[in-house]
């Protein structure tokens, strides 16, 4: 079986996670090349990688180029990599809404890979985990409306944000010092919530919130779904959580929803709503380092006949970014779409 030559572009939090996931994949790999703005060495899981400066010629002979998410790198080099024969799977927002670029979550819309033109977009982290949980329910009954509130970990911003939360927490909790300086965020994140992820538009929605709307429409091929979202940055190191409410065309009971989701690929249901069961819902500490999308708190709306609530948790660096990108490559391999 042919082994693929793979390039990982970027070695931030997502880039490092890509290297971890690639070390665990069943995808046949011949060589992994790591590219970034400057040459250096990085160590991931005990293995040292020699990082090379990203240049167009570095993509010669590359079969799969996994861009970790820096929009500048994607703008400069993604289409150049395609010209040189690579299949590009891009984690940035640069190409997600372009009509001729598939936006793919393998458990949800793998068939969209069949019409790729060398470039595939990886959706936003908060969108990925939501659509993984909603697609099996959508297949049972079309979803007419979605209300989502996200509680997003600082790892979604990158390593500097992780360091900032750690430093601020130490200053506040251990040393009782007031935090005055912030770098990753406009306000202190330790022991605080920031109801803004991205920039605001004229309607008062942030770019992160609009990503959830537009990307969900594209992935589910249903622009008529009414979607609204409020995205909040929370002082959690890793793993995003979401409170999602849906209204369906036909009634889906909570028990039916649990059974549908238990059978769905990529989902783990933690939900036994009994006063005697103890904790029966997923939390970020359950999802950290895991591949699955966790779903719990599944319950019917007592005031709306076809309303359903869900609590959705996933590792945003893995399923929300690196793992989904590698799963796209694996699905393309299964479909015989690589090397064409």
Q: Please check whether residues 215 and 108 belong to one and the same domain.
A: no
User: pLDDT (tens digit, 9 = 90+) per residue, 148-207?
Assistant: 999 999 999 999 999 999 999 988 777 777 777 778 999 999 999 999 999 999 999 999
- Whether 296 maps to a domain, the answer reads yes
Q: Please check whether residues 228 and 295 belong to one and the same domain.
A: yes
Q: By the 8 A CB rule, do 76 and 70 touch?
A: no
Q: Please check whether residues 137 and 23 belong to one and the same domain.
A: no
User: Which of 125, 110, 132, 149 is CA-nearest to residue 261?
Assistant: 132
pLDDT over 60 at 340, yes or no: no
Q: Please check whether residues 142 and 270 belong to one and the same domain.
A: yes
Q: Please check whether residues 131 and 279 belong to one and the same domain.
A: yes
CATH number of the domain enclosing 295: 3.30.360.10
Chain position carrying tokens 């082994």:
3
Q: Please check whether residues 118 and 261 belong to one and the same domain.
A: no
Q: Please check whether residues 86 and 142 belong to one and the same domain.
A: no
- Whether 340 maps to a domain, the answer reads no
At 177 the pLDDT is 74
Q: By the 8 A CB rule, do 298 and 254 touch?
A: yes
- Whether 226 maps to a domain, the answer reads yes
Sort 149 into a burial class: Cβ within 10 Å, 0-12 / 13-18 / 19+.
middle
Q: Please check whether residues 325 and 309 belong to one and the same domain.
A: no
Number of structural domains (the chain) is 2
* Calpha distance 229→236 (Å, rounded): 20
- Whether 284 maps to a domain, the answer reads yes
User: pLDDT (tens digit, 9 = 90+) per residue, 113-142?
Assistant: 999 999 999 999 999 999 999 999 999 999
For 148, the 3-state DSSP assignment is strand
Give this prediction's pTM: 0.95
At 152 the pLDDT is 98
Q: Please check whether residues 272 and 295 belong to one and the same domain.
A: yes
Max Cα-Cα span within the chain: 62
- Whether 254 maps to a domain, the answer reads yes
- Whether 339 maps to a domain, the answer reads no
User: pLDDT (tens digit, 9 = 90+) per residue, 64-109?
Assistant: 999 998 899 999 999 999 999 999 999 999 999 999 999 999 999 9
Indicate which residues carry an active-site annotation: 125, 240
Q: Tell me the residue ranges of DSSP E strands in 17-86.
A: 29-36, 40-44, 47-53, 64-67
Q: Model confidence at 272, in pLDDT bands (50, 70, 90)? A: confident
Percent pLDDT > 70 in the chain is 97
Please list, residue by residue across 48-70, b when 16 or more beta carbons sit within 10 angstroms of its beta carbon and e when fewer do: ebebeebeeebbeebbbbbbbbb
Q: Please check whether residues 148 and 85 belong to one and the same domain.
A: no
Q: Please check whether residues 145 and 104 belong to one and the same domain.
A: no
* Calpha distance 54→34 (Å, rounded): 9
Q: Model confidence at 278, in pLDDT bands (50, 70, 90)? A: low
Parallel/antiparallel/unpaired status of strands 40-44 and 47-53: antiparallel
Provide the domain limits for residue 52.
Answer: 4-122+320-334
Q: Please check whether residues 104 and 136 belong to one and the same domain.
A: no
Q: By the 8 A CB rule, do 211 and 124 touch?
A: yes
- Whether 89 maps to a domain, the answer reads yes
Per-residue tokens: 71: 């929009």
CATH number of the domain enclosing 93: 3.40.50.720
């Amino acid at each position: 079986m042919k082994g693929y030559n793979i390039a990982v572009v970027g070695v931030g939090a997502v880039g490092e996670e890509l290297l971890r996931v690639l070390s665990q994949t069943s995808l046949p790999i011949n060589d992994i090349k790591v590219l970034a703005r400057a040459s250096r060495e990085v160590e991931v899981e005990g293995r040292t990688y020699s990082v090379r400066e990203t240049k167009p010629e570095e993509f010669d002979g590359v079969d799969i180029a996994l861009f970790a998410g820096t929009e500048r790198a994607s703008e400069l080099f993604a289409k150049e990599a395609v010209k040189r024969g690579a299949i590009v799977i891009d984690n940035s927002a640069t190409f997600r809404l372009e009509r001729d670029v598939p936006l793919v979550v393998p458990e949800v819309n793998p068939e969209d890979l069949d019409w790729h033109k060398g470039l595939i977009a990886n959706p936003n982290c908060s969108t990925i985990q939501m659509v993984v949980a909603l697609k099996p329910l959508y297949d049972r009954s079309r979803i007419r409306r979605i209300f989502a509130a996200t509680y997003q970990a600082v790892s979604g911003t990158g390593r500097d944000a992780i360091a900032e939360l750690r430093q601020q927490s130490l200053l506040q909790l251990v040393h009782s010092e007031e935090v005055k300086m912030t770098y990753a965020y406009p306000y202190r994140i330790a022991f605080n919530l920031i109801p803004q992820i991205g920039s605001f538009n004229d309607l008062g929605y942030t770019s992160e919130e609009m990503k959830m709307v537009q990307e969900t429409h594209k992935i589910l091929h249903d622009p008529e779904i009414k979607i609204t979202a409020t995205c909040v940055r929370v002082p959690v190191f890793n793993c995003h959580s979401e409170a999602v409410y849906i209204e369906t065309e036909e009634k889906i009971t909570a028990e039916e929803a649990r059974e549908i989701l238990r059978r769905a690929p990529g989902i783990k249901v933690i939900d036994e709503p009994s006063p005697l069961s103890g904790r029966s819902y997923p939390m970020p500490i359950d999802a950290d380092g895991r591949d699955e999308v966790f779903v719990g708190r599944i319950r019917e709306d007592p005031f709306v006949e076809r309303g359903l609530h869900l609590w959705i948790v996933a590792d945003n660096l893995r399923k929300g970014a690196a793992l989904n990108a590698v799963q796209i490559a694996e699905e393309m391999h299964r479909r015989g779409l690589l090397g064409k």
